[in-house]
């Protein structure tokens, strides 16, 4: 996919009039898996970076799904199954992810989308301020920072909440870290990059040097352990990586490669350090075959992304989380390359 237009074919295939469908059987949407707020929130971020009429159509579609999924208390129902919302998959993480997407959508230039995202964002604030899970706190920190300039009348409240959540996440890290273990918990599980990403986002917002140091230490810990072979090896979900044990290699999931790419890109954005851009490039190339099996996860025939690297090769299914992760990483890569080209033009003009 390098140097080519971003391929949205499977993204379109998985999306119906309700939103993006959660799972696929190989490349066929599995309508019986339903739709989730998690996937539709991530899909909204993809749609915001699309162009033309598709951008307008998909941003409205995913925003409307999230609008219909929000509970009265401001949290979101994470699963719609056969046109009924059921609370089976509700979690703090889904609340944090969806809130972050609303914070980004609230500042967009599509009035209907921005308006609904703003209403959902304000309605969710009381629940967001009570988050305890570290990843949910990290998503919320990013959402609060991204929404800060949009919600002028709420800035005192937003500052209070983001400062409290960032302090809690930093204190968690300081309690847990050790000489050989630079992490927020006693094990690494899924979407690990979101926590250092939140630290860099918070530092970029208010210049908190302790947040930058923690971001650098934890992202350094990830990169020192996950890029040792010259390519990205994601923490496998078979038991995760517990402190003092070996890193499980399988299954490696696309959402985790995206998480690493996002963290490295944010670190590059706020520090300008080229090593972070290079690591983001490596994370992106995981999808294209620079991985433990040397197999691309991007499927050229469908435009989809396989759900995981497994011991015997590929998981043949191509669900929403996988293709969204690929597309977000591709969009990120394109944006970063655009910034690099702009920096080069500026330096030559001086």
| Residue 246's CATH number | 1.50.10.20
pLDDT tens figures, 93-125: 999 999 999 999 999 999 999 999 999 999 999
Which residue, chain included where needed, has tokens 């050790």? 178
Q: Answer with the one of 145, 176, 207 that is the final residue of a domain.
A: 176
Is residue 207, in this structure, part of any structural domain at all?
yes
User: Are 291 and 332 contained in the same domain?
Assistant: yes
* Residue 160: inside a domain: yes
pLDDT band at 3 (very low <50, low <70, confident <90, very high): very low
What is the residue-averaged pLDDT of the chain?
A: 95
Residues 167 and 152 in one domain: yes
Structural contact between residues 236 and 252, judged by C-beta atoms closer than 8 angstroms: yes
C-beta of residue 220 within 8 angstroms of C-beta of residue 182: yes
- Say if residue 149 is in the same domain as residue 248: no
227 and 339 housed in the same domain: yes
**Range 66-90 average pLDDT:** 96
| Helix/strand/coil percentages in the chain, nearest 5 | 55, 10, 30
**Which structural domain range is residue 117 located in?**
36-176
Q: Is residue 1 part of a domain?
A: no
Q: What is the pTM of this model?
A: 0.95
Cα-based distances in Å from 277 to 63, 157, 267, 273, 324: 31, 34, 8, 7, 21
Q: Are residues 252 and 184 in the same domain?
A: yes
Answer with the one of 176, 208, 230 that is the final residue of a domain.
176
Q: How confident is the model at residue 335 (pLDDT cuts 50, 70, 90)?
A: confident
In the prediction, which pLDDT does 5 show? Answer: 85
Same domain as 310, residue 199: yes
Same domain, 160 and 260: no
Q: Are residues 114 and 197 in the same domain?
A: no
- Whether 201 has a pLDDT exceeding 90, the answer reads yes
Residue 12 lies in a domain: no
Residue 25 lies in a domain: no
Note if the bond before 251 is cis, omega within 30 degrees.
yes
13 falls within a domain = no
Residue 313 counted as domain residue: yes
72 lies in some domain: yes
């Amino acid at each position: 996919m390098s140097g080519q237009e971003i391929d949205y074919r499977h993204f379109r295939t998985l999306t119906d009039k309700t939103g993006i469908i959660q799972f696929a059987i190989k490349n066929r949407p599995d309508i019986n898996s339903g739709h989730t707020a998690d996937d539709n929130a991530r899909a909204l971020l993809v749609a915001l970076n699309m162009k033309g009429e598709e951008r307008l159509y998909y941003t409205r579609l995913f925003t409307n799904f999230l609008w219909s999924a929000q509970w009265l208390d401001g949290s979101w129902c994470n699963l719609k199954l056969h046109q009924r919302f059921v609370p089976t998959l509700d979690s703090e993480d889904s609340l944090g992810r969806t809130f972050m997407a609303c914070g980004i959508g609230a500042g967009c230039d599509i009035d209907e989308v921005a308006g609904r995202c703003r209403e959902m964002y304000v309605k969710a604030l009381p629940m967001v301020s009570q988050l305890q899970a570290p990843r949910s706190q990290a998503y919320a920190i990013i959402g609060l920072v991204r929404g800060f300039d949009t919600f002028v009348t709420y800035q005192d409240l937003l500052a209070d909440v983001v400062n409290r959540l960032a302090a809690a996440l930093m204190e968690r890290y300081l309690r847990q870290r050790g000489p050989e273990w630079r992490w927020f918990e006693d094990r690494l599980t899924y979407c690990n990059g979101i926590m250092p990403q939140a630290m860099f986002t918070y530092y970029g917002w208010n210049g908190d040097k302790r947040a930058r140091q923690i971001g650098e230490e934890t992202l350094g810990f990830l990169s020192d352990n996950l890029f040792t072979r010259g390519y990205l090896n994601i923490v496998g979900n078979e038991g995760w990586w517990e402190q003092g044990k070996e890193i499980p290699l399988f299954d490696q999931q696309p959402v985790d490669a995206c998480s690493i790419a996002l963290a490295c890109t944010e670190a590059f954005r706020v520090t300008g350090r080229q090593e972070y851009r290079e690591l983001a490039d490596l994370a992106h190339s995981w999808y294209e075959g620079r991985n433990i099996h040397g197999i691309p996860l991007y499927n050229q025939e469908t435009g989809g992304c396989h759900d995981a690297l497994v011991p015997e090769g590929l998981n043949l299914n191509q669900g929403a989380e996988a293709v969204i992760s690929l597309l977000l990483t591709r969009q990120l890569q394109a944006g970063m390359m655009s910034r690099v080209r702009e920096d080069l033009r500026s330096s030559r003009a001086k």
